[in-house]
Structure formats: structure tokens, C-alpha cells
Amino acid sequence: MDKKIILIMQKKILKDNLTTIILCGGKGKRLFPLTKSLPKPLVKINGTEILTYILKNQLKYNLKDIIIATGYKHKYFKNYQKKNNKKFKIKLVNTNVKADIIQRIIKCEKYCKDYVMVCYGDTIVDINIDKLIKFFLINKKNIVLSSYNLKSQFGLMKITRSGKVKSFEEKPNLNLFFNIGYFLFKRDKFKYIKNFSSFKKFLENKNSLKMLRSFIHKGNHITVNTLNELNDAKKKLKNLN
């Protein structure tokens, strides 16, 4: 059988057996005072919740088995679920306010299918999930995470000790990449993940690094952590529509 046809079949099987976990349990302290009365994923940007932007991208790729891992202000997500029940079929799992990301993921295990994708509830990206799955199938024994190219917000200079400017580059590409979520792994990797007390320790562990593979996202990326980033997000999303 042709390799392309095999890959298409494998992609369909994976998507049919994929559960998405969207991490929405944190307090979002850097976005206070907005998050004093509302969880960050339900903060609206141009009239639409951050979570809704994320869910719409899931539906674009026909992914319907979705878990919202809540914690802080869980009841607001229950209201969101009722209000949007016809649009999005989502399951809520209350993973505790103080839980680390790793604990939130583990608490969702019993609801997961054979494959698991983990997304951040404050990050809006137009990631091509079909391409992400294809990349995962090529690296199927590993854990795939998605990354984005880091660019400087400032003009950078090289200077001598005496202060002479040797070179200047306005907002250069730093040739570094940062994690934007969309972790994709087979369910049996839960056994390995359970060895860690925090997500940070899991990511930085030498054995983890051996199995991590990075899918580079080249489209749009918007993370909302602060009020300034929220204002920037409003402008970016307005320009994209």
C-alpha cells in the first residue's frame, strides 16, 4: 500500500482516538484585577472568550473529545459548558486550585482515549493539527511538543568596552524557540509522566529530553498573561479577522 495512503489512514485512526486536555486551572494572577472575578481562559478578547478561540481550532480539525482541566473558579466553567453545550461537547474535570500542571494532566487520565493532546488555556494559536499529527506519527515513540520562534522585542547591539557600537539589528530573530503547548503523546506515556512532581521537572529531565520532539509552529501565536498582552491580543485578533 502507498505510504501516503497509510499515513492518511493512521492520521484518521489517531484523530478518532484522541483526547484533548485544555489546562484551565490556574489563577492567572498577572492578569488581575480581571481574574479576581473570572478565570483567565474565560476572559473575553473582542467579545469572545480565550477558551472559545482554542475550542474553535479544535473543531476545525474535527476533534470532539475535549476535557477542560479546571481548578480556580470551577463553577464559571460549568456555566460556560451549559451556555455552549450545542457548540462544544466538553467534559469538565476539577483538578484542584493548587495542583501543578502535571497533576492536572494525571487527574484526566481515566477519561482519555489512546492518544492525548495537552493545550494551554491562555494560548491562542492557529496551529495546523493535521501537520502536528503527521509529525507525531513520524516520531511516534516520542512525546511531541509545539514551539514558536522567539524574536526580540528590542533592537539589539554589539558594543565594545568603550561603548563603540559595532552592530545594530532591529528586533532580530534570536534563533531560539519557546514551548507553546500542544503536547501529543500516546496514553501509555502516563506511566512515565507520573514519576514527576512538577511539569517543570518533567520537561527538564534528561530522560524526558531524549524522547521530546518539537513541532515548529509558523503561524499566529498569542499568549495572554498580562494586561499589556491582553491589549496586544485585541489588536492582533482584530487584524486577523
Whether residue 194 lies inside any domain: the answer is yes
Q: Does 44 fall in a domain? A: yes
Query: Cα-flanking dihedrals φ and ψ of residue 115, to 5°?
Result: -125, 150
Q: Which residue has the cell 474565560?
A: 42
Residue 174 pLDDT: 67
Per-residue pLDDT, 152 = 67
In a domain, 163, yes or no: no
In this structure, is residue 23 part of a structural domain? yes
- Secondary structure element (H or E) that encloses residue 207, with its range: helix 206-211
Q: What is the pLDDT of residue 146?
A: 93
- Is 154 part of a structural domain of the chain? no
- Number of structural domains the chain divides into: 1
Ordered DSSP codes for 63-108: ---EEEEE-TTHHHHHHHHHHTTTT--EEEEE--TT--HHHHHHHT
- The answer to whether the beta carbons of residues 99 and 71 sit under 8 Å apart is yes
- Residue 61 near residue 129 (C-beta atoms within 8 A): yes
> Is the bond preceding 33 in cis, omega lying within 30 degrees of 0?
yes
d(C-alpha 144, C-alpha 146), whole Å: 7
Domain-located, residue 159? no
Who has greater pLDDT, 9 or 99? 99
Which range scores top for mean pLDDT: 75-89, 114-128, 134-148, 175-189? Answer: 114-128
Q: Hey, which of 6-20, 42-56, 146-160 has the most confident mean pLDDT? A: 42-56
Calpha distance 168→157 (Å, rounded)? 4
In a domain? residue 86: yes
Residue 219: predicted pLDDT: 87
CATH code for the domain in which residue 21 is found:
3.90.550.10
Q: What is the pLDDT of residue 1?
A: 63
171-177 long-range contacts, Cβ below 8 Å, gap at least 24? 173/149, 174/150, 175/149, 176/149, 176/150, 177/147, 177/148, 177/149, 177/150, 177/214, 177/216
Report which of residues 95 and 149 the model is more confident about: 95
**Which of 49-63, 103-117, 142-156 is the least confident region?**
142-156
For residue 16, the tally of other CB atoms under 10 A from its CB is 14
Domain that holds residue 66: 9-147+177-235
The model's pLDDT over 24-69, given as tens digits with 9 standing for 90+, comes to 998 888 888 878 889 999 999 998 999 999 999 999 999 989 999 9
Please say if the pLDDT value at position 115 is more than 90: yes
**Helix or strand holding residue 222 (H, E):** strand 221-223
- Phi/psi at 183 (5° precision): -75, 135
pLDDT band at residue 19, thresholds of 50, 70 and 90? very high
41 within domain boundaries:
yes
* Beta-bridge partners for 221: 125
Query: Please, which residues bridge with residue 18 across strands?
Result: 115
Q: Kindly report, residue by residue over 165-222, the tens digit of the pLDDT.
A: 777 777 766 677 888 889 999 999 999 999 999 999 999 999 999 899 999 998 888 8
For position 241, what pLDDT does the model report? 60
pTM: 0.88
Residue 175 is classified by DSSP as E
Q: How far apart are CA 180 and CA 214, in angstroms?
A: 10
